[in-house]
Structure 1
Amino acid sequence: NLTLLWLTELPKFCGFPSVASSPPDLTVSPLPWQRTGPGTATDGLPKFDLTKFDQSYFDRLRTRVQALRNAGIYVGVYLFTGEWLNIFRCSSDGYPFTGANNLNGVDDGYTSGSKGIGSITMTAPNAITRLQDTYVEKVIDTLNDLPNVLWIVSEEAPANSTWWNDHQISHVRAYESKKPYQHPIGYAALIKSPDTTIYNSDADWVAPQVRISPTTSCGSGKPACKVNINDSDHSYFGIWNDTAQQNRNYAWENFMTGNQVLFMDPYVVYYPRERRNLCVSPTNAICTGPDRRWDNFRDNLGYILKYSRKLNLANVTPRKSLCSTGYCLAQTPSAGAEYLVYAPSGGSFTIDLSAMPASRRLAVEWFNPSTGASAVGNPVPAGSSSQSCTPPFSGDAVLYLVDTVGHATSGIPRPGEGSGKAVPQ
């Protein structure tokens, strides 16, 4: 289980696009720095002193990450949010790195408009990066001892922010190298930049813009190959326009290609524009309960987790050539084989079961992603290169086959065992 904690860098988020006309401004506090004044920032509150941290911000961050740890949930901590600077600025947003809003003579050059990205598009260290680096170190000091942490620099930042993203990845890695834990560092899709940018970086994990992630996410960086977590926020714009089955296709197809998904769940944020999230009894854009339209998708993320634990996940790999649906995770030793197959549209399909001899048999379990119901079928013999299978229900379907004596085990230690690396399991 993994969720994300966002930093909203703008004291005033200008024009939150939840409605078609007259979008509201949202105000945010606390932020990482104290608002001491003297003088008034453009949002009408005291100016920031960027040399003084607001400890309440970091205390709240730690409390939330600890609560998630207690619930068995990993958390990707956003250090910055470049998207806001790229789209949602206004002349009264109070952004700390704009000269009118701080006491420290630091200025990102912003004057007006919805875009002000000077604090993330530099190409060499400057006064702003020095202050950002100090803030990042404070976040690391606050959370480093917690093993459920992943870092992520930013998301949907502009294409010309690559130096800044790379700098922060390098900075986090160097600063944490002397700490008890070295947490995985993430890099999310940039606006109008190909996914090769993040694959060629030195990040440990990535969140691309492609709808279905590739079976490998390798490039020229170190490490060369990344953990790929496909976040619907970047890859599935318009998810609200599709059917529940199409939504499920997105999640299961990513899992079957060896990746995992994150759902940008609107939860209790009222978002009636395009009917994105019609949650219950909204007041000031926040509801008393979630929109049940998304429950089946939420449930399917849990179903995927269940099957990830049922499989020998260390041994299975994407093997699209083994099944006619094109979506299959499998390990194929001569004894202990197992297969997880997804049929996006349902109906009959075939599987190559020739890895094991016909003398062995495979247990059969059908799973219906629409209802959450599973059904055990009669065992089938191994040996066939084209075993026909037909789900006992309509719509998309999952089939789990495993040697009746159990799947082969790897003996590979659990991720993170015996090291100082905090790695999701």
Structure 2
Amino acid sequence: MSKLAASALASAALSLALVTVWAEPSPEPSSPRDKTGAVAVHPPNPHYFQTAEGKPLLLLGDYTWGTFSDVDYDYRAMFDTLRANGLNFARVWVFWGNETGFESQRPPQNYHRANVVPYLRTGPGVATDGQPKYDLTRFNPAFFARLRAVCAAARERGLFLQLTLFDAWMIKHPHLWRLHAYHRDNNVNGVDGDPKNTDKGTDGEQGFCSLGNPPVLEAQKAFIRQTVDAVNEFDHLLFEIANENYYSAEWERHLCEFIHEYEKGKPRQHLVMPLDLPNHDYGGIKTYDFQQLHTSLLKARALNQPLLFDTDGIGNPDDATVRKAAWTAVVSGGHVSYLDDSLQPGSEHQGDERGSRRATLREQLGHLATFVHQVRFWEMEPDDTLVVGNGHHSEGFPVPAFASASAQEIVVYLPEGGEVTVDLSAVSGALTVKWMHPVEGTTTPGGTTTGGTIRTFKAPFGGDAVLYIRGNR
């Protein structure tokens, strides 16, 4: 505990208002504060973000695949849902690569998506989906108008967006790659994202995600320039190069640096993943194993970058599992980005833009958001040495408890509840104790205690629990 008292984080200005965790970008892009700046890494604690105004920011997100790209998706309804539950972040796919999402002769029965694409389909010639070929030098005004509208709608609701520029999941499926705008048969420009004829775009040497295909790379850069030009005025964005790129880290880094260089002469300079922070697949963080999630987040702190716990690819388990993982991530110094299939309309996922099927989970994530309003996590460090033991056992094994602390506050999360023993030997004076119920969102006073020793606390209710200990400021 003594290292916490000496931590540089403890010397952070205590006058910061609690509300600074949650900041709403102004809807007026022409206002003086909006002319420069964007979401950035928080200098006093680089594991957190800060707004364009320099206010500390912890991201709690809920998102789906088609927010922007599905032409019929009601993104305003989705954003209203996030705002109503206190959430402040969404990951947004920008360019999937094709328009229809299936081969025209074999559409799946439950398919309900039509993607907006950034290129005009002028021909001459017919693409593999039966429509005119793409011209990769002629951009689709409707695409960029919708992108700006999505960004503006998010800003009006105080939401921050992660714009995923390319998708590398689709290119590994031959039936989807054949529909891609960068497939040799689908554009009039001679651009071929698969010169080795692998029937995919995944070749890391000369494929879609590579530095070894100059025509593809130049087309990608032209698209990036057009996208940056369209959204540079917005201060609530960060860029992600690609979803699920497992083929060329060099390609991703090159495009990150390209964006940084291109934005140097522009009003705003945005963060870009995976250069300024790890991408959504960073090692070990993507898991519903709470202990592994906690351990991986602590290990990755050496990067000195914000860490996103993103659930893309690990499924949609029951409410309790998602809730516990989200709490574990936050108390372990991370941020949360939950891929929520209930927000995706259609029979495949039985969803809608308001995520009705998982409204209860979203309400519980909202309780986490409320707690985040009240605690200065950006002044804290996760510290396993605070937890001496956990008296509750499950199947013969100790249930872990995860702790984070500053000189003023201690938060302990117990995924299975019960009791926990906390080392308060380095803390002096009177301490106020509270318990927070992650399911109900209620707070139960736990009385007062004093520091200077080891003390055991027992949750006054069953299930997972949050212990909050606060000293006098």
TM-score class, shorter-chain normalisation, is 0.7 to 0.9
Q: How far does the alpha carbon of each residue in 1:388-410 deviate from its partner, in whole angstroms, 9 at most, with x for none?
A: 1111100000011111x33xxxx
Which residue of structure 2 aligns with residue 228 of structure 1?
A: 307
Q: Aligned AA for 2:366?
A: G
Q: Greater relative contact order (Cα 8 A, min sep 6): structure 1 or 2?
A: 2
Shift in Å, 1:44: 0.9
| Structure 2 Cα separation of the partners of residues 251 and 47 of structure 1 | 44
Shift in Å, 1:43: 0.6
Which residue of structure 1 aligns with residue 365 of structure 2?
A: 301
Does residue 247 (structure 1) correspond to residue 326 (structure 2)? The answer is no
Does residue 115 (structure 1) correspond to residue 192 (structure 2)? The answer is no
Q: Aligned AA for 1:388?
A: T
Q: Aligned AA for 2:381?
A: T
Q: Aligned AA for 2:457?
A: C
Shift in Å, 1:12: 2.7
Q: How far does the alpha carbon of each residue in 1:365-391 deviate from its partner, in whole angstroms, 9 at most, with x for none?
A: 21111222221221122222x211111
Q: How far does the alpha carbon of each residue in 1:311-346 deviate from its partner, in whole angstroms, 9 at most, with x for none?
A: 2223211011102344011013xxxx2111100101
Question: Which consecutive unaligned segments of at least 5 residues does structure 2 have?
Answer: 1-87, 288-292, 390-399
**Aligned partner (choices 66, 69, 72) of residue 155 of structure 2:** 69
Does residue 179 (structure 1) correspond to residue 244 (structure 2)? The answer is no
Q: How far does the alpha carbon of each residue in 1:103-137 deviate from its partner, in whole angstroms, 9 at most, with x for none?
A: 11111237999733354333335011001101101
Which residue of structure 1 aligns with residue 140 of structure 2?
A: 54
Q: How far does the alpha carbon of each residue in 1:49-106 deviate from its partner, in whole angstroms, 9 at most, with x for none?
A: 111111110111011101101100100011101111123634752x111121111111
Which residue of structure 1 aligns with residue 438 of structure 2?
A: 369
Q: Secondary structure at the match of 1:146?
A: coil
Q: Aligned AA for 1:171?
A: F
Q: Given the superposition, is the C-alpha separation of residues 29 and 250 from structure 1 closer, same or farther in structure 2, using an over 3 Å criterion?
A: closer
Shift in Å, 1:278: 4.1
Q: Aligned AA for 2:310?
A: D
Q: Given the superposition, is the C-alpha separation of residues 65 and 330 from structure 1 closer, same or farther in structure 2, using an over 3 Å criterion?
A: same
Shift in Å, 1:364: 1.8
Which residue of structure 2 aligns with residue 383 of structure 1?
A: 452
Which residue of structure 2 aligns with residue 396 of structure 1?
A: 464
Is the CA contact (8 Å cut-off) linking 2:436 and 2:444 kept in structure 1? yes
Which residue of structure 1 aligns with residue 415 of structure 2?
A: 344
State the aligned residue count. Answer: 358
Does residue 14 (structure 1) correspond to residue 102 (structure 2)? The answer is yes
Any residues of structure 2 matched to 1:239-318 within 5 Å, and which?
239-240=316-317, 243-269=318-344, 277-279=349-351, 287=352, 290-292=355-357, 294-318=358-382
Shift in Å, 1:300: 3.3
**Aligned partner (choices 197, 207, 216) of residue 128 of structure 1:** 216
| Structure 2 Cα separation of the partners of residues 352 and 228 of structure 1 | 27
Is the CA contact (8 Å cut-off) linking 1:217 and 1:227 kept in structure 2? no
Does residue 163 (structure 1) correspond to residue 238 (structure 2)? The answer is no
Instruction: Give the TM-score taking structure 1 as reference length.
Output: 0.77
Shift in Å, 1:263: 0.7
| Structure 1 Cα separation of the partners of residues 271 and 90 of structure 2 | 14
| Structure 2 Cα separation of the partners of residues 365 and 314 of structure 1 | 20
Q: Which stretch of structure 1 is more off in the superposition, 60-69 or 297-306?
A: 297-306
Shift in Å, 1:47: 0.8
Q: Which stretch of structure 1 is more off in the superposition, 45-54 or 374-383?
A: 374-383
Q: Secondary structure at the match of 1:363?
A: strand
Q: Aligned AA for 1:178?
A: G
**Aligned partner (choices 209, 225, 229) of residue 137 of structure 1:** 225
User: Which structure has greater strand proportion?
Assistant: 2
Q: How far does the alpha carbon of each residue in 1:257-281 deviate from its partner, in whole angstroms, 9 at most, with x for none?
A: 10011110113435777xxx444xx
Q: Secondary structure at the match of 2:162?
A: strand
Q: Given the superposition, is the C-alpha separation of residues 178 and 248 from structure 1 closer, same or farther in structure 2, using an over 3 Å criterion?
A: same
Q: Aligned AA for 2:437?
A: N
Question: Which consecutive unaligned segments of at least 5 residues does structure 1 have?
Answer: 16-20, 188-201, 280-286, 407-425
State, as a whole percentage, how many aligned pairs show the same letter.
26
Does residue 215 (structure 1) correspond to residue 298 (structure 2)? The answer is yes
Q: Given the superposition, is the C-alpha separation of residues 400 and 362 from structure 1 closer, same or farther in structure 2, using an over 3 Å criterion?
A: same
Q: Secondary structure at the match of 2:249?
A: helix
Does residue 353 (structure 1) correspond to residue 424 (structure 2)? The answer is yes
Does residue 31 (structure 1) correspond to residue 120 (structure 2)? The answer is no
Is the CA contact (8 Å cut-off) linking 2:403 and 2:413 kept in structure 1? yes
